[in-house]
Amino acid sequence: MRKTAVNKEYLGAAAPVQSSILLRGAPFDARNIPPYYLDFSFIKHALKSICRENGIERDRRARVEVAAMVIALFQEGARSEGEIVERARQRWSEASIQ
């Protein structure tokens, strides 16, 4: 079996800071997801679109924070790629104003 390299600097990055203005949703809980959602590829596509629009390519910490925001938007009721991207743009503009 091949050993996987781990970057220890990013091990704690999966827990986003709750005080961030970008993160307003409830903590992720798989029990809140209806059983008919089996394909979450639209979330991955939304994450890629948001990161591409904002020039986030190699910054892992920023991508993790954007991913947390995307999951929070899904939990708040966004159920399509377009809806997630639009709400993320609104949050991004609110955060840049303050």
Q: How far apart are CA 74 and CA 41, in angstroms?
A: 12
What local confidence, expressed as pLDDT, does residue 93 receive? 86
Cα-Cα-Cα-Cα torsion 41, 46, 48, 51, nearest 10 degrees, comes to -160
pTM equals 0.62
Give per-residue pLDDT as tens, 46-95.
999 999 999 998 899 999 999 999 999 998 989 899 999 999 999 988 88
3-state per-residue secondary structure call for 55-87 = CCCCCHHHHHHHHHHHHHHHHCCCCCHHHHHHH
For residue 61, report the phi and psi dihedrals to the nearest 5 degrees: -60, -40
* Residue of 64, 70, 59 lying closest to 24 (CA atoms): 70
Give per-residue pLDDT as tens, 12-44.
444 444 445 555 555 556 666 665 566 789 999
